[in-house]
């Protein structure tokens, strides 16, 4: 069946300006990681993407090595984009990244000009696009001058293969340096993508200040701490859960007291634990958007509903801080 987007899609969530730029992003953006690779049914991916756009999610975030195997998330997204979203391309923000390992040999990862620009060309080919809206340096490269990596981002924008440039996983100091270099090149950085959650608050110790000073936006990933901040583990560790089956989360990281204590606060707010965790990351106006993953339409809908939650009271924030204090990474 031919897809036709919901006419009310822009009534369902707020759109926030990214730093001092002219670009607005939805409060909730969708990350296309392993759930969109070849190991998952493409019709499930299609259903998630369609529903996301109907709910006002206009930003789809990828990277060169997302999916199993590497690159398959971009390939599958490109197919769905071509078949379902071609009429809506100008309503979408599509981002991708280069920085982690992608192909064998010394030119297949990190931040050299050769790798970064070759990776962008490959990503565009996989997705069938002439340009992406945002292109990121996925991580800083300790072995490559920052000027070279930023020069590659500048080249990507000037060539028309990307509209904006961003960085991810950079420290506060590295962010300030990168922003200075890009300003001097004439292509200001649009956005920073760091990890952030109620139990991973490292960006509060300088990075948010650096982002604000540079006029950049901030879009955060892993807001649910790989599922720790959901109701998935309130009763223990299910055999089919990520903690039991994935290398990205181990069962020994699960703390039932933490999850149950936060869940009580969430219930008092009329939210699920996941919804509260997402709302919490958006409480700071310097956070432009929060990235969610989704393995089903239902999970997507539940998470996007975080934008309907009430503002936090000082008592609620204090109670959250008290529960998370001994778990918080800074």
What is the pLDDT averaged over residues 33-59?
96
**What is the mean pLDDT of the segment spanning 287-311?**
98
pTM recorded for the entire structure: 0.94
Query: Lowest-confidence range among 59-73, 138-152, 238-252, 263-277?
Result: 238-252
| pLDDT for res 327 | 79
Q: How far, in Å, CA of 26 to CA of 11, rounded?
A: 11
Residue-averaged pLDDT of the chain: 94
Over residues 114-172, the pLDDT tens digits come to 999 999 999 999 999 999 999 999 999 999 999 999 999 999 999 999 999 999 999 99
Could you tell me which residues are beta bridge partners of residue 31?
61
Average pLDDT rounded to a whole number, residues 258-270? 96
Tell me the pLDDT tens digit for each residue of 241-256.
454 444 444 445 557 7
CA distance 220 to 238: 27
**Is the peptide bond prior to 26 cis by the omega test (within 30 degrees of 0)?**
no
CB contact at 8 A, 229 and 262: yes
Confidence of residue 330 (pLDDT cuts 50, 70, 90): low
- At 91 the pLDDT is 98
pLDDT at 326: 80
Q: Please report, in angstroms and rounded to a whole number, the separation of the first and last CA atoms in the chain.
A: 48
């Amino acid at each position: 069946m031919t897809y036709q987007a919901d006419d009310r899609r822009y009534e369902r969530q707020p759109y926030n300006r990214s730093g001092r730029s002219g670009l607005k992003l939805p409060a909730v953006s969708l990350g296309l990681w392993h759930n969109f690779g070849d190991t998952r049914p493409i019709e499930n991916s299609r259903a998630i993407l369609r529903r996301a756009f109907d709910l006002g999610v206009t930003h789809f975030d990828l990277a060169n090595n997302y999916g199993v195997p590497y690159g398959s998330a971009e390939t599958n997204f490109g197919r769905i984009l071509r078949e379902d979203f071609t009429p809506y391309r100008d309503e979408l923000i599509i981002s991708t990244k280069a920085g982690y390992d992608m192909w064998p040999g010394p030119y297949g990862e990190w931040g050299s000009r050769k790798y970064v620009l070759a990776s962008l060309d490959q990503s565009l080919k996989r997705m069938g696009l002439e340009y992406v809206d945002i292109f990121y340096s996925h991580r800083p490269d300790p072995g490559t001058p920052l000027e070279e990596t930023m020069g590659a981002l500048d080249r990507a924008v000037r060539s028309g293969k990307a509209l904006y440039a961003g960085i991810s996983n950079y420290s506060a100091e590295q962010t300030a340096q990168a922003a200075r270099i890009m300003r001097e090149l004439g292509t200001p950085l649009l956005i920073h993508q760091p990890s952030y959650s109620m139990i991973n608050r490292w960006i509060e110790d300088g990075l948010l200040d650096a982002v604000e000073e540079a006029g950049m936006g901030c879009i955060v990933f892993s807001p649910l701490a790989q599922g720790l901040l959901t109701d998935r583990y309130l009763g223990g560790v299910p055999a089919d859960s990520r903690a039991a089956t994935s290398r990205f989360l181990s069962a020994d990281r699960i703390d039932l007291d933490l999850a149950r204590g936060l869940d009580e606060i969430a219930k008092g707010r009329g939210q699920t634990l996941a919804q509260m965790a997402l709302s919490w990351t958006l409480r700071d106006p310097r956070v432009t958007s929060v990235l969610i993953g989704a393995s089903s339409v239902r999970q997507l809908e539940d998470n996007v509903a975080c934008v309907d939650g009430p503002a936090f009271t000082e008592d609620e924030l204090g109670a959250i801080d008290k529960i998370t204090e001994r778990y918080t990474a800074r």
